[in-house]
Amino acid sequence: MKIRVINPNTTCAMTETIGAAAARVAGPGTQIVATQPAGGPVSIESHFDEAVAAVGVAEEVLAGEREQTDAYVIACFGDPGLWSARELTRAPVIGIAEAAFHMAAMVSTRFSVVTTLGRTGIIAEHLLQQYGFAHLCRKVRAAEIPVLDLEHDPDAALRKIIEESLRAKHEDGIGAIVLGCGGMADLTDTISDAVGLPVVEGVSAAVKLAESLVHLGLKTSKHGDLDFPRPKAFAGQFRHFSA
């Protein structure tokens, strides 16, 4: 089985972190291909960043289709381009926020999300409503760290994430923490040990869900809105999407 794990930003070190986390939980016989778009934002911290990154995600899915990929993981907590990616393939496509919410709901009756910046927390709140998990999430909390601090100042970033997770434990009445950034993929065990709660990290959760869907023979439905896009001409820098 081949799973293409797409980091929608263009920071190579973060792609390596995400790929290593995915490989650690992958089952025997699962090949993890960690990749990123050729162009786009170095981090994703706004709606605009997500809009640009979504094009790169689509390009990575099309590249994966040429390599007979069995499933895809979109490794950014905003799940950018998730629905359009599903249109482009019959293979399962899993967003890490979507996966993390599902897993957290299976090990606790209430959870909180600890993410990077307050403005991206709003995006997470939108996803909680869209996916039907808003009633299970007590709070979306921000450690107020730029995404790239996870790479450039990891010790300080980890300290702030743990501090916010402890506040969530003591103030929110929860049973689990969801980490709200793909760049936190290698921090799960450390945070769980420090906080004393189950900590759900979306890259790992998405890989295991993707494996399950492949083993069950479940593919993305092509009946209705997730059917392949209608062939048409594209202009300018998007000409390569034509037909």
Say what the pLDDT of residue 58 is: 98
Q: Which pLDDT value is given to residue 156?
A: 94
- Map out the domains of the chain as residue ranges: 2-95+205-241, 97-201
The reported pLDDT for the residue numbered 207 is 98
CATH number of the domain located at residue range(s) 2-95+205-241 in this protein: 3.40.50.12500
Q: Mean of the per-residue pLDDT values for the chain?
A: 96
Catalogue the E-assigned strands of the chain: 2-6, 31-35, 71-74, 93-95, 111-115, 137-142, 176-180, 199-201
Residue 94 has pLDDT above 80, yes or no: yes
Tell me, rounded to whole angstroms, the distance of Cα 95 from its chain centroid: 5
Average pLDDT over residues 106-125: 96
Tell me how far apart the alpha carbons of residues 224 and 228 are, in angstroms, rounded to a whole number. Answer: 9
Q: Given this model, what pLDDT does residue 152 score?
A: 87
Buried b (16+ CB within 10 A) or exposed e, 10-31: bbeebbebbbebbeebbeeebe
Q: How far apart are the first and last CA of the chain?
A: 29
- The pLDDT score that the predictor gives to residue 187 is 94
| Nearest CA among 158, 168, 150, 147 for reference residue 104 | 168
Quick: pLDDT tens for 187-214.
Answer: 999 999 999 999 999 999 999 999 999 9
Query: CA–CA separation, 7 vs 35, rounded Å?
Result: 6
The torsion angle over the Cα atoms of residues 87, 92, 95 and 96, rounded to 10 degrees, is -170
Q: Please state the rounded mean pLDDT for residues 215-227.
A: 98
- pLDDT greater than 80 at residue 243: no
Give the residue among 90, 93, 69, 91 at the shortest CA–CA distance from 79.
93
Task: Report the SS3 class of residue 19.
Answer: helix
Rounded CA separation 73/62 (Å): 13
Tell me what pLDDT residue 228 has: 97
* Per-residue confidence band for 151, with pLDDT thresholds at 50, 70 and 90: confident
Is CATH 3.40.50.12500 correct for 97-201? yes
Evaluate if residue 237 carries a pLDDT over 90: yes
Q: Write down the pLDDT at residue 31.
A: 98
Polymer length in residues for the chain: 243
Tokens 């009445």, residue?
173
Hey, do 2-95+205-241 and 97-201 end up sharing a CATH topology, with the first three levels equal? Answer: yes
- What tens digit of pLDDT does each residue of 5-33 get? 999 999 999 999 999 999 999 999 999 99
